Amino acid sequence: MGIQVKKIHIVVITGLLIALAFVFDRFGFGFGFGFGFGFGFGFGWLPDYLLIASTLIAGFPITKKAIQASRMKAFSIELLVTIAVVGALIIGEYVESAAVTFLFLFGAFLEARTLEKTRSSLKSLMDMTPLQATVIKDGTTLILPIDEVKLGDRVRIQSGEKVSVDGRVISGEAYINEAAITGESRPVMKKRKDKVYSGTLIDNGYIEVEVEKVGHDTAFAKIIELVEEAQESKASTQKFLEKFANLYTPSILILCIIVFIVTRNIGLALTFLVIACPGALVISAPVSLVAGIGNGAKNGTLIKGGEIMEKLAKIDIVVFDKTGTLTIGKPEVTRIHSINVDEDVLLKLAAEAELVSEHHLGRTIVREADKRGIHLAHKPELFSIEKGYGVSATIQGSAILIGNMKLMVRGLINIDSSIKEYAIQEEKLGNTAVFIAVNEQVAGVISIADEIRKEAFETIQILKSSGIKQTYMMTGDNRYNAKKVAEQLGIDHIFSEMLPEDKLKQIKLLQQQGHRVAMVGDGINDTPAIALADIGIAMGAAGTDIAMETSDVVLMADNLHHIPYAFRLARATIRNMKQNMLFAVGIVILLLAGVLFGRIFMASGMLIHEISVLVVILNAIRLVYYKRTGGERRWMLTQKKKTSTIAVSP
């Protein structure tokens, strides 16, 4: 901000000097005073001196920047302007030199001010960062700076206050606006055991929260960090333009010399030098990318940089995981079939074995035991995750296997034909059949079902209408359930009963066929596939560190509508960037042609040049206000009545 204030002061001073020079020259103030004895003092030189002063004042920061760039072996636009201005001063073109330096500096000031608009999303996020928290300690209430809040502290938040930490509600209820995290402005009810995030706002209610993360470790802080890194990350087009600029400047210097040799007109050569400045071209890519990334951040969609934006715009195949992605990720136990053991005893054994599991099915079993009031007294020993199969653990000396039929076969567990038939029937009904074996004997089957997200069908259709050629679903679930979900959602290709390594092979195969693949997962079990795909998209990733680190695009809300929005935003951003580049190149060509044909002069050309820079920036600012298209919104409204919630398995 201090640099900006200094720059505007220089602009004002130089502008006033040019105005005074114009007034003195226009109204004939080239006067003198006689003192007799043949001695007099004239002021005819005043307009020129004012113009020279204006040139030197405005030219100083330009020249300084040119020298700094030259020391780093970079050929900057400022170097072209500096050479041209020095030349103009030498040949006595003071009006041109003053006008060029003033316009260049004024243009730079306006660019900086306008660019702030494209970064407004990041600034608004940073402004929402909580600075203090109300902490309850030993029965007393203290207002502490956020840096002094510790893990495990009890924090109180009331209506109208910001949540200052990541944690879980331990008392009270409240409606919380989580727009800063998810982009969704509708308040969400939070009650005991629910998770809350720093930077969100309590609309109504009162809660007490146990601190789990604070400061730089919170999801909100990581969002800001990701957006900052993304806005600094460069697209391949932007990198090309920067390399081009380093070659362009010395090339223009050589052309300027050629123009002078051919025409013997130093004024024409210097004008050519100034007009050739590629200012609009150099900023055409970064300004669009910053605006697009900022828009995404404001709407709960983090796109990690310019290169990711370019890749996202070229995607032609989208691969979905099922559980937690196409389904809501909150499955419920629908039936328990026990064999020679009490149902609650079987559930207790399974829940104790799954206590430390992070898988959706494991958490569902634990949650069902909690609902039934079953006390889980024993933590699992020798707990092991068999990816794509299930888990194994030891509970009080009993060996427990929990997973699919493949895990039973792998563990050499004999399954009676009647149990196999029962499991198949459950799967045909849309359930996932989870086998439980105790000491190498099948003890029962727990059936679990999930719900398809209500927006899943319309999301698939919008993606297809947006130019996505094919959609895939890859899941470790049984083929019956996978087929049922795919048919309901209109997914083109299904791959069921897949292990993590199978998903990787399939994605690699699609890439070898020349496709650009996006993998959408919940960020927990799909990390390898997300990492391998051209674009990895983690949805519902608020607070999930591994999703933020691994994926290219992070959707903070559990809402599939953010996926087509991300594709459309990426394409709009790249389209905007190309518009800027074509406009900038066109202006430079027209200006240079005008110079060579004697139609454009230094000051007027510089004015057009600066206007072109602002046009490029203003075009990019349109991305700040980018929203879903009217057609897309209308499609959603017309289709909403046709969709329904269907119970299916994870």
State the amino acid at position 348 in one-letter form.
Answer: K
Query: What is the three-state SS of 312-367?
Result: HHCCCEEEECCCCCCECCCCEEEEEEECCCCHHHHHHHHHHHCCCCCCHHHHHHHH
What gap in Å lies between CA 56 and CA 343, rounded to an integer? Answer: 89
What gap in Å lies between CA 411 and CA 243, rounded to an integer? Answer: 59
Give burial (CB, 10 Å; 0-12/13-18/19+) of 157.
buried
What gap in Å lies between CA 167 and CA 214, rounded to an integer? Answer: 9
Please, are residues 105 and 14 in contact by the beta-carbon 8 Å criterion? Answer: yes
Note if 492 is an active site residue.
no
State the amino acid at position 370 in one-letter form.
Answer: D
CB atoms within 10 A of CB 292: 29
What gap in Å lies between CA 161 and CA 158, rounded to an integer? Answer: 6
Give the C-alpha distances (Å, rounded to integers) separating 41 from 35, 46, 168.
Answer: 8, 12, 83
What gap in Å lies between CA 379 and CA 354, rounded to an integer? Answer: 9
Candidate list 153, 166, 321, 450, residue with the active-site label: 321
Give the C-alpha distances (Å, rounded to integers) separating 493 from 325, 373, 485, 516, 597.
Answer: 16, 42, 11, 16, 61
DSSP string covering 502-522: HHHHHHHHHHHTT--EEEEE-
What gap in Å lies between CA 377 and CA 129, rounded to an integer? Answer: 41
CB atoms within 10 A of CB 335: 15
- Would you please indicate which residues are annotated as catalytic (active-site) residues? 321
